[in-house]
Amino acid sequence: MNIFEELKARGLVFQTTDEEALVKALTEGQVSYYSGYDPTADSLHLGHLVPILVCRHLQLAGHKPYALVGGATGLIGDPSFKDAERSLQTKETVEGWVTKIQGQLSRFLNFENGDNKAEMVNNYDWFGTISFIDFLRDVGKYFTVNYMMSKDSVKKRIETGISYTEFAYQIMQGYDFYELNRTHNVTLQIGGSDQWGNMTAGTELLRRKADKTGHVMTVPLITDSTGKKFGKSEGNAVWLDADKTSPYEMYQFWLNVMDDDAVRFLKIFTFLSLDEIAEIEEQFNAARHERLAQKILAKEVVTLVHGEEAYKQALNITEQLFAGNIKNLSAKELKQGLSNVPNYAVQADDNLNIVDILVTAGISPSKRQAREDVQNGAIYINGERVQDLDYSLSDSDKIDNELTVIRRGKKKYSVLTY
């Protein structure tokens, strides 16, 4: 099985400009390729991970990747399938985001060794020195307005309005391909399926301006088995930055994917061989309630993104919280594991009697209910049941002198901070 066949078998290929020619190029020698990432935030998210993994697969197969971070295009904004214009960011903000995203990309590709070691590029390096007149004369003349307006990414916005700034974005992305081909002999561009129009602008510019052929390969938009766009957790993106989405939160995200998606996601998001995944699938289908595929998926992706130690910590937090062993975890670990539960900052004049603090912190709705909760054994302090109505919180209840975990019933957690 050649690399293109494997990518297809994993569900990582959506569309190509010329599949036969691309397969020929990938099997006959080393191909230089690139994938671009605009700094529209200070971190990449799960949606970016798919093209990154395709780049890694290709590098492992001997091809040479160029990771492009759009320091210039990030200042403009891609209109592709957006309902409204992006808010323009300052150069300083974008430069800071470029640095962070470059750091994230360096985790996934080999930038150190071999004749196919990855290279990082920033399109501000060529756009920052080109004049507006030169760009119009040397690049703009190769694009007709009719051609630009035929792109689906533009069509959708024509009705509601699109600025010339965003309208010209596709020419800029097209020029990226031309410039990387000119300077590094890059002949393949990889990106999301929503980028097809921008990416083929590059092959068109290569053909018209340099009489060369370039290839485009898009990866599919990943959806779950219900058709919902994948990579959103309770309305929020799953970020690759551990400070924005902790390893524990990412672990839980993967652990909770639906059974019907688990094996498919193993093919897309991990580097386990297809034979290994077939064996996992057989075991998984024999006992789906054990969630073997989800556990392996969570382990592989968290380890890939954050490292083995982060995975071990996420697994430990999961196991200790499930068992109710709060005191086995540090305050730092608890902040990860309980990041989405209600927090209450204890004030200096708060009454720390168990009944009063339950009401003050909003854990029980009234003193009557709080007393019933305590007497019925429904209240746990740091995993230990408290049934004494006269119990008052003390320094011994503070974990690492930072927080106290109160559980009401089986699953309702709250955190008191100091």
Is 375 annotated for ligand binding?
A: no
* Direct distance between the N- and C-terminal alpha carbons of the chain, in angstroms, rounded to an integer: 59
**89 carries a ligand binding annotation:** no
Task: Return the sign of the alpha-carbon dihedral for residues 150, 153, 155, 158.
Answer: negative
Question: In the block, which residue shows the tokens 């897309």?
Answer: 268
* Residue 173 marked as a ligand binder: yes
Q: Are 77 and 169 in contact (CB under 8 A)?
A: yes
Closest to 269 measured CA to CA, from 336, 206, 209, 222 = 222
Give the Cα separation of 95 and 72 in Å (integer): 10
200 to 66, 123, 188, 212: CA distances (angstroms)? 18, 18, 11, 13
Token readout for 412 is 């309702």
Which token pair is 96? 């800071």
Query: Cβ neighbours of residue 14 under 8 Å, at least 6 residues apart?
Result: 193, 218, 219, 220, 221
The answer on whether 15 is annotated among ligand-binding residues is no
User: Can you say which residues are annotated as belonging to the binding site for L-tyrosine?
Assistant: 34, 169, 173
Annotated binding site: 34, 169, 173, 232
Give the residue ranges of the annotated binding site for ATP: 232
